[in-house]
């Protein structure tokens, strides 16, 4: 089974840039391109990369510029804010997967975003604003075919369609839905697809119909329709087991340097609440990454889940930190910005680098993103700025 845990392709970074960073995320753009091409080879539909959640933690501005240079003419995000974050750096054609708020409509029109409409309420104001834009504005309808979250109910689709038809400055470009259980429930997913396609009769010709994210892309080829919206797969992770013809490549890894080592005697406690005590002399290493950056972030567990989790952990200890393939056990509680490691069996020194397993979408932007292309460091995004490999500020224009 491939779950995006392939060994990252990158060599240890010859880190250059504005600082000698103590922790950073490496993004392998060649791997991203490889995954994109692998998906494109498997469908006739247009692949629209999804960049919500800061491009799943990869840093949306650079990923947007890179994917556009690789021929992706449209990108998808959830909110207007996410779109503006990209547009502050690079021009892009962006579809919104969630409806904008009424107060965001001027920005939608100004930046020529493709909003998802889920009810007729926004249409008159959007139409009025769109009159100011030569050529008007393209919109899409999002239909809730069973997810139970965003979208118009199928039975309300005709009314929304009629409202948009009357709005002379709005052009309906597409109709889409989102699957709730494409990885596991094929029957339900097929039902969702049928509910979407049943609306085609009432709709004009020439629209883009879309439904599939990564899971349905794999499980239900008939759901590819005109366009597929892919996130997870492009970023090198598989939502379900892949056949061996797929060779997804890992696009992301977090690295940190050891900032202190020290021997502790037996019986010494480590970290907050004294939750860990040494049984023997222990060589402690500290890395400057903690739960505030996304390490060991777990949803607040119910007592039952807490119990299951503890039992599972006791049987199969989880190592979030590695040096090469060598696991480095975390000792004590992960704190906000620091984590302690047991280095007793390792000769790692201050300044040496370890890989830190993190939930990628929550890794804070304080951690710099180092972008590699064809094995070479290309640029660094840090502190809201972009740097070249010598630490000089640059723009994204013409970089890819």
Ligand X SMILES: Cc1ncc(COP(=O)(O)O)c(C=O)c1O
- Of the pair 216, 331, the CB lying nearest ligand X is at 216
Do residues 143 and 152 make contact, with C-beta atoms less than 8 angstroms apart? yes
Do residues 54 and 60 make contact, with C-beta atoms less than 8 angstroms apart? yes
- Of the pair 100, 231, the CB lying nearest ligand X is at 231
Of 1, 38, 41, 2, nearest to 237 (Cα)? 2
As measured in angstroms, the least distance from the Cβ of 256 to ligand X is 26
Of 354, 326, 324, 359, nearest to 339 (Cα)? 354
- Of the pair 240, 399, the CB lying nearest ligand X is at 240
Phi and psi, residue 61, nearest 5°: -60, -50
The first and second tokens of residue 156, run together, are 């309300």
As measured in angstroms, the least distance from the Cβ of 294 to ligand X is 18
As measured in angstroms, the least distance from the Cβ of 368 to ligand X is 24
As measured in angstroms, the least distance from the Cβ of 225 to ligand X is 13
As measured in angstroms, the least distance from the Cβ of 233 to ligand X is 6
As measured in angstroms, the least distance from the Cβ of 161 to ligand X is 20
Of 253, 286, 257, 282, nearest to 267 (Cα)? 282
As measured in angstroms, the least distance from the Cβ of 317 to ligand X is 29
- Of the pair 181, 399, the CB lying nearest ligand X is at 181
| Contact residues for ligand X, defined by CB under 6 A | 50, 97, 178, 213-215, 229-233, 239
Torsion sign, CA atoms 274, 276, 278, 279:
positive
Of 102, 112, 106, 111, nearest to 139 (Cα)? 112
- Of the pair 77, 320, the CB lying nearest ligand X is at 77
10 Å CB burial of residue 313 (0-12, 13-18, 19+) is exposed
As measured in angstroms, the least distance from the Cβ of 227 to ligand X is 10
Do residues 387 and 297 make contact, with C-beta atoms less than 8 angstroms apart? no
Do residues 27 and 236 make contact, with C-beta atoms less than 8 angstroms apart? no
DSSP symbols for 214-234: HHHHHH-GGG-TTEEEESTTT
Q: Determine which helix (DSSP H) or strand (DSSP E) holds 379, and give its type and residue range.
A: strand 376-382
CA dihedral 263, 264, 265, 271 (to 10 degrees): -170
Query: Running DSSP on this structure, what letter comes out for residue 248?
Result: -
As measured in angstroms, the least distance from the Cβ of 3 to ligand X is 14
As measured in angstroms, the least distance from the Cβ of 187 to ligand X is 19
- Of the pair 98, 377, the CB lying nearest ligand X is at 98
The first and second tokens of residue 306, run together, are 């807490």
10 Å CB burial of residue 380 (0-12, 13-18, 19+) is buried
- Of the pair 104, 214, the CB lying nearest ligand X is at 214
- Of the pair 77, 108, the CB lying nearest ligand X is at 77
- Of the pair 22, 361, the CB lying nearest ligand X is at 361
Q: Determine which helix (DSSP H) or strand (DSSP E) holds 369, and give its type and residue range.
A: strand 369-373
Nearest residue relative to ligand X (C-beta): 231
- Of the pair 104, 223, the CB lying nearest ligand X is at 223
């Amino acid at each position: 089974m491939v779950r995006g845990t392939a060994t990252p392709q990158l060599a240890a970074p010859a880190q250059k840039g504005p600082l000698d960073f103590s922790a950073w995320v490496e993004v392998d753009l060649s791997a991203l391109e490889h995954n994109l091409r692998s998906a494109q080879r498997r469908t006739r539909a247009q692949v629209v990369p999804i960049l919500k959640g800061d491009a799943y933690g990869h840093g949306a501005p650079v990923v947007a510029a890179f994917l556009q240079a690789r021929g992706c003419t449209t990108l998808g995000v959830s909110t207007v804010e996410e779109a503006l974050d990209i547009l502050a750096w690079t021009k892009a054609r962006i579809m919104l997967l969630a409806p904008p708020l009424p107060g965001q409509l001027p920005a939608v029109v100004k930046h020529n975003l493709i909003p998802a409409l889920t009810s007729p309420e926004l249409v008159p104001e959007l139409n009025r604003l769109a009159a100011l834009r030569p050529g008007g504005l393209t919109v899409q309808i999002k239909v809730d075919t069973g997810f139970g979250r965003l979208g118009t109910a199928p039975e309300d689709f005709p009314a929304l369609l009629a409202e948009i038809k009357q709005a002379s400055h709005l052009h309906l470009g597409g109709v889409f839905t989102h699957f709730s259980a494409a990885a596991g429930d094929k029957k339900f997913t097929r039902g969702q697809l049928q509910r979407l396609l049943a609306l085609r009769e009432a709709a004009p010709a020439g629209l883009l119909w879309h439904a599939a994210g990564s899971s349905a892309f794999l499980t239900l080829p008939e759901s590819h329709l005109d366009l597929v919206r892919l996130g997870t797969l492009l970023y090198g992770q598989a939502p379900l087991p892949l056949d061996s013809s797929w060779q997804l490549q890992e696009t992301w890894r977090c690295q940190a340097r050891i900032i202190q080592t020290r021997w502790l005697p037996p019986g010494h406690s480590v970290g907050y609440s004294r939750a860990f005590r040494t049984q023997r002399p222990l060589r402690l290493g500290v890395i400057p990454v903690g739960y505030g950056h996304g390490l060991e972030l777990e949803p607040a567990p119910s007592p039952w889940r807490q119990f299951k989790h503890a039992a599972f952990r006791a049987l199969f200890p989880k190592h979030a930190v590695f040096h090469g393939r060598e696991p480095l056990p975390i000792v004590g509680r992960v704190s906000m910005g620091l984590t302690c490691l047991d280095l007793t069996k390792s000769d790692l020194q201050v300044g040496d680098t370890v890989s830190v397993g993190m939930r990628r979408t929550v890794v804070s932007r304080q951690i710099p993103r180092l972008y590699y292309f064809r094995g070479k460091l290309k640029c660094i995004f840090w502190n809201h700025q972009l740097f070249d490999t010598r630490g000089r500020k640059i723009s994204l224009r013409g970089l890819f």
